[in-house]
Amino acid sequence: MQKHRLAPWLMPALLPAVLLLCVCAGSVSVPPGQTLDLLWRGLWGLPLPEGSAAAIVLRVRLPRVLCVALTGASLSLCGAAMQGLLRNPLADGSTLGVSSGASLGAVLAMAFGLSVPGLPYAGTMGMAMVFAFLSLALILTLAFGLDRSLATHSIILIGVIFSMFATALTSLVISFAGEKVKSITFWTMGSLSGVNYTQAGVLAGFLAVCGGVIFRCREELNAFAMGEENAWHIGVNVRRVKLVLLMTVSVLIGACVSVGGSIGFVGLVTPHMARMVVGPNHRRLLPASLCAGAVFLMLADLLARTIVRPVELPIGVVTSLVGAVVFVVIFLGTRKGGAPC
Amino acid sequence: MLTVEHLTVRYGDFTAVSDVSFRLEAGQWLMLCGPNGAGKSSLLGALSLRVPSAGRLLMLGQDLRTMKPAERARRIAVLAQRNSAAYAYTVEELVRLGRYAHRKGWLAAGADPEGEEKVEKALAAAGLTEYRRTSLLALSGGELQRAFLAQVLAQDPCLLLLDEPVNHLDLRYQRQLLDLVAAWAAEKPGRAVLAAVHDLSLALRYGTHALLLQSGRAAGCGTPAEVLTPERLHSVWGMDVAGWMRDLAEPWQRD
C-alpha cells in the first residue's frame, strides 16, 4: 500500500540534510557553510584552514556521524528483514536477543583480549557475529520446539528470556574483567563516541555486502511475510533462503554491536515508520528502512550528545526510551489482529 | 499425471497415512474424503512435500522429490485451509507473488513474459480486479481466500491441491470458490484438481473421482457414486451418514 507517490523519495532526501545537521551541531556548533567547505576540502585533500573547527568536523564528528548512520541503516535493515522473514512485526535484534548474544561474544573477546593479528577489530567482531548467529539459531530452535507455528508472541518471549540470560552472563564476564570494567560497561550501553574512519569503512563494507544479499532476497521476504507455508508452495527454497538471511542478519548485527555496543530497538522502530510511508513490499521497504534507520540514529545520537551537555548519554539509552514506547504501541496493535500498518 | 504408490506418512510411532496408492489423470477432480484424523491433510502435506513420506511420487513421469522448489511450484499449486495476512500487502502484490517460480534469471524481477497477462487473468477470474489495490487486512475471510486462490491461478500449475478450501466460508463463498476451481479445471486440457473436503455433498457435486480414507488407509477409490455409497459411509463414519444428510435437507424438499 503506497500512500503517496513522492513518499519513497522523502527519506533519501532527508539523509544528507540530517547528516549535515549532525556534523554542524554539538557542544561547539560550526556554521553549515563552513562545515560544507571543510567537508569539501577534506574530501579532496585540499589544505585545511587554521582553527579547531577543522579538527572537530573532520576528526571527531564526521567519523562518528558516519558510523552512527551506517549502524542505524544496518540495524534497521536487519529489523525489516527479520520482521518479514519471521512474519513478526515485533522482531528485531534487541527483542529476539540477538544483540545481547552478540554483546556477550564481543565482551568475551574484549575481556580475554582475543584478537586476530593484523586485522584490527576482527576478534570482537568475529566473536560478536558467531554469538549473534548462535543466539538466533538457539532462540528459533527453542521457539519452534515450543510452538510449531512460530507465533508472534512466543518467539518474543523466548527472545526476552534469552536476552536476560545473555545479559547476566555478560555482567558475569565483566565482573572478572579487572581494569577494563569501565570501558566495557560503557560500551555495552551502546555508544559510538570515539570511533574512527577505519570502523566506518568496515561498517560500510559489511552493509554493502549484507545489504546486497538482503535486497537480493526481497521477493522471498515478501513471500515469507505472507507466511512460510505459502512461500514453500509458490516455490521459494525455504530452507536455503532462511539460512542465508539469518546468517546475513547475524553478521550485520554482529558487526554493528562490536563497533557501537548494543543499541536497542532501532530495527523495531524504523521499519515500522518506513512501512507506514511506503507499505510492506520489501522492494520499497528495505531501501526506506535503510534511510530511516540512518536518519533516526543520527538524530538520536545528536540528542544523546547535546541534551544534557556537557554530559554525554549513551545512544542506546535514547533509542531504548523511544523504542520501548513504540514496542508497546505495536504490541497492542498485533493483539487486535494484524500489524497496525 | 500424478502417480502415488505405497505412500506412507509417519510422525514418530504414529502412522498417519499407510500404503496408499492412486493415479490422478488430467481432467479429473479427485475428492479426498474421510473422518477427522483419517490422514487427508497428511496425504496432501506429503504431496506438497511439506511432510516427509515414503513411497513413490511421480508427477508427469518425474520423481516429485528430486524437483527443485521452483520446478515443483510451476506444476503444483496449493491452496491452504486457512490463510491470513500479517501485513498490509495489496491483493495485486499477493497475486503477483504467484509468478515467483516462473521468473527467470538472477534478478528477482527477472523475465516473465507471460506474467502480466496471467496476473490480470487471475484477478479477473477471482473477481478481484477492482480490489487490486485493497489491503489484505481489509478483506473478509471469503475475499481473502479468493485472493489466495487468485495467487494460485496466477501460478498456472497443472495440478491444484486444495486442503479443506471452503471450511470456514459461508455458503455463498463456498459455491463461488468451488465454481471458480471447476471453471479453471475445465478451461484447458491437462489440468487436474485434488481436494480434501469434509462436506460429502460437495464431493458428490464437484468430484469426478473420490478417494475414501479410513485411519490412514484407502477404503475405496473410484467415481464418487461408486465410493461414497450409504453402506460404505456407514461403516467408515460409524453412523448413518446418508440418512443424516437426507434429514438435513428434508425441510427444503419440494413435493
What's at B138, amino acid-wise?
A
Query: Are A189 and A287 in a shared domain?
Result: no
What's the rounded mean pLDDT across residues B44-59? Answer: 94
Query: Are A190 and A317 in a shared domain?
Result: no
* CB contact (8 A) between residue B84 and residue A234: no
Q: Angle at Cα A170 formed by Cα A168 and Cα A176, nearest 5°?
A: 110
User: Pairing state of beta strands B2-11 and B159-163?
Assistant: unpaired
* Omega cis (within 30) before A47: no
CA distance linking residue A292 with residue B15, whole number of Å:
52
* CB contact (8 A) between residue A226 and residue B94: yes
* CB contact (8 A) between residue B137 and residue A338: yes
Residue B39: name the closest of B251, B160, B216 by CA.
B216
pTM of the predicted model as reported, rounded to 2 decimal places:
0.90
The domain of A284 spans 263-336
* CB contact (8 A) between residue B69 and residue A237: yes
Sign, CA torsion B150/B155/B156/B157:
negative
Query: Are A329 and A228 in a shared domain?
Result: no
Residue from the list A229, A238, A280 with its beta carbon closest to the beta carbon of B87: A280
Q: Give the closest-approach CA distance of B95 to chain A in angstroms.
A: 11
* CB contact (8 A) between residue B155 and residue A234: yes
Q: In the block, which residue shows the cell 520499497?
A: A284
* Helical axes A62-85 vs A282-306, angle rounded to 10°: 140
* CB contact (8 A) between residue B100 and residue A238: no
Q: Which of A237, A262, A287 is the last residue of a domain?
A: A262
Query: Maximum CA pair distance of chain B?
Result: 65
CA distance linking residue A300 with residue A112, whole number of Å:
32
Task: Give the chain A residue nearest B80 (alpha carbons).
Answer: A230
Residue from the list A237, A238, A339 with its beta carbon closest to the beta carbon of B86: A339
Residue B93: name the closest of B136, B141, B125, B127 by CA.
B136
Residue from the list B88, B103, B109 with its beta carbon closest to the beta carbon of A280: B88
CA distances from residue A102 to A55, A142, A211, A213 in whole angstroms, order as listed = 33, 18, 19, 21
Residue A245: name the closest of A287, A215, A204 by CA.
A215
* CATH number of the structural domain spanning residue A226: 1.10.3470.10
Residue B87: name the closest of A288, A285, A147 by CA.
A285
Domain assignment of residue A38, yes or no: no
Per DSSP, chain A holds a count of helices (H) and strands (E) of 15, 0
Q: Give the closest-approach CA distance of A233 to chain B in angstroms.
A: 6
Query: Are A112 and A228 in a shared domain?
Result: yes
Residue B130: name the closest of B90, B96, B99, B97 by CA.
B90
Domain assignment of residue A48, yes or no: no
Reported as a single tens digit per residue, the pLDDT across B155-195 is 999 999 999 888 888 888 899 999 999 999 999 999 999 99
Percent of chain B past pLDDT 70, that is, above it, reads 97
Domain assignment of residue A173, yes or no: yes
Q: Which of A206, A230, A262 is the last residue of a domain?
A: A262
CA distance linking residue B150 with residue B132, whole number of Å:
11
Residue A75: name the closest of A338, A219, A267 by CA.
A267
Query: Are A220 and A203 in a shared domain?
Result: yes
Q: Give the closest-approach CA distance of A130 to chain B in angstroms.
A: 29
Query: Are A114 and A233 in a shared domain?
Result: yes
- For the cut 90, the answer to whether the pLDDT of residue B147 exceeds it is yes
Q: Give the closest-approach CA distance of A3 to chain B in angstroms.
A: 11
Contacts of A275 in chain B (CB under 8 A): 87-88
Residue from the list B78, B87, B98 with its beta carbon closest to the beta carbon of A225: B87
What's at B212, amino acid-wise?
L
Reported as a single tens digit per residue, the pLDDT across A16-25 is 999 999 999 8
Reported as a single tens digit per residue, the pLDDT across B53-87 is 999 999 998 999 999 999 999 999 999 887 888 89
What's at A81, amino acid-wise?
A
Contacts of B95 in chain A (CB under 8 A): none
- For the cut 60, the answer to whether the pLDDT of residue B8 exceeds it is yes
Query: Are A299 and A282 in a shared domain?
Result: yes
Query: Are A256 and A276 in a shared domain?
Result: no
Residue A1: name the closest of B143, B54, B132 by CA.
B132
Residue A260: name the closest of A92, A73, A82, A114 by CA.
A73
* CB contact (8 A) between residue A233 and residue B89: no
Total beta-carbon pairs less than 8 A apart between chain A and chain B: 90
Domain assignment of residue A5, yes or no: no
Ramachandran angles phi, psi of A194, nearest 5°: 75, 20
Interface of B with A (CB under 8 A): 48, 50, 68-74, 77-78, 80, 83-90, 93-94, 97-98, 100-101, 103, 108-109, 133, 135, 137, 148, 151, 155
| Chain centre distance of CA B150 | 13
* CB contact (8 A) between residue A89 and residue B87: yes
User: Pairing state of beta strands B159-163 and B192-196?
Assistant: parallel
Query: Are A237 and A279 in a shared domain?
Result: no
Query: Are A311 and A205 in a shared domain?
Result: no
The pLDDT of residue A8 is: 67
Q: Which of A241, A262, A283 is the last residue of a domain?
A: A262
Domain assignment of residue A42, yes or no: no
* CB contact (8 A) between residue A216 and residue B108: yes
Domain assignment of residue A99, yes or no: yes
Domain assignment of residue A309, yes or no: yes
What is the distance in angstroms between the CA of the first residue and the CA of the last residue of chain B? Answer: 44
Per the structure, how many domains does chain A have? Answer: 2
A96 by Cβ neighbours in 10 Å (0-12 / 13-18 / 19+) ranks as: buried
Order of all β-strands in the sheet with B76-79: B76-79, B159-163, B192-196, B29-33, B209-214, B217-222
ipTM of this predicted structure: 0.91
Domain assignment of residue A146, yes or no: yes
Query: Are A247 and A268 in a shared domain?
Result: no
Query: Are A270 and A256 in a shared domain?
Result: no
Chain A interface test: which of B97, B118, B194 (most A C-beta within 10 Å):
B97
The pLDDT of residue B83 is: 81
Q: Give the closest-approach CA distance of B199 to chain A in angstroms.
A: 25
* CB contact (8 A) between residue B135 and residue A227: no
3-state secondary structure of B59: strand
Order of all β-strands in the sheet with B62-63: B14-24, B2-11, B54-59, B62-63
Q: In the block, which residue shows the cell 477432480?
A: B29
CA distance linking residue A295 with residue A71, whole number of Å:
11
Cβ atoms B21, B153 nearer than 8 A: no
Low-confidence ranges of chain A (pLDDT < 70): 1-8, 120, 148-152, 190, 334-341
Query: Maximum CA pair distance of chain A?
Result: 66
